[in-house]
A and B are shown apart, each in its own frame.
Chain A
Amino acid sequence: DTGVSQNPRHKITKRGQNVTFRCDPISEHNRLYWYRQTLGQGPEFLTYFQNEAQLEKSRLLSDRFSAERPKGSFSTLEIQRTEQGDSAMYLCASSLIRNTEAFFGQGTRLTVV
């Protein structure tokens, strides 16, 4: 499978716990994006990387959120001290630098109880 891969697909966690999600982009895609989607809304941008550099972070990304892409390949998104408001689908997408078409993974659905 050469698409964007995200793990896990579903995560249920208790409030206050930390969670980490992983995204493997399409190989050779330099850009990697994280989006969050809540019920009935479109995806909202969180952050993106060009290779290993994190180039932009949304104001939505509180200090409890951190993302990394250490070798310019896969990325992780960590949420510390989860809150119920963090419950959402977390989507990862990748693209080439000069091609704005982004390809999305299947998403990780987070439920904070």
Chain B
Amino acid sequence: ELKVEQNPLFLSMQEGKNYTIYCNYSTTSDRLYWYRQDPGKSLESLFVLLSNGAVKQEGRLMASLDTKARLSTLHITAAVHDLSATYFCAVPILRTTGANSKLTFGKGITLSVRP
């Protein structure tokens, strides 16, 4: 059974500082997704990481994937209040057919940016 773990589960960040959060998973997969969720809202797709060594950047966020270590990191540069939200990583089970499959999500990491 695929398990996805995120840590820490809660992170209080100081405005302007850099932080890294982590997502690791238990079985082979060649891709990983990061989503953002604001309170009471649905999930917004942030990053699609499709191969080992993939790195994507959007604004102050940068995500990377190491499929050999089964680890993804999300790096936050110079945190700002707008980044306060819960961030989920999600992993599909690798299928030899190449067809997609359901996503298994981590519990999410809640980021709170304080002045």
Question: Which residues on the A side are within 8 Å of B105 (C-beta)?
Answer: 42-44
| A39-72 near B? 1/0 per residue, CB < 8 Å | 0111111001000000010000000000000000
A100 nearest CB neighbor, chain B only: B100
A97 to B92, CA, bound (A): 13
Main secondary structure of the interface of A (DSSP, over half): loop
A43 to B31, CA, bound (A): 18
| B22-61 near A? 1/0 per residue, CB < 8 Å | 0000000001010100001111110010000000000000
Give the number of residues in B that approach A within 8 Å (Cβ atoms).
25
A-B contact list, 26 entries, CB within 8 Å: A31-B100, A33-B103, A40-B107, A40-B108, A41-B108, A42-B4, A42-B88, A42-B90, A43-B88, A43-B105, A44-B105, A45-B102, A48-B102, A96-B100, A97-B99, A98-B98, A98-B100, A100-B92, A100-B103, A101-B33, A101-B48, A103-B45, A104-B44, A104-B45, A106-B41, A107-B42
Which residues of A are interface residues toward B (Cβ below 8 A)?
Answer: 31, 33, 40-45, 48, 56, 91, 95-107, 109
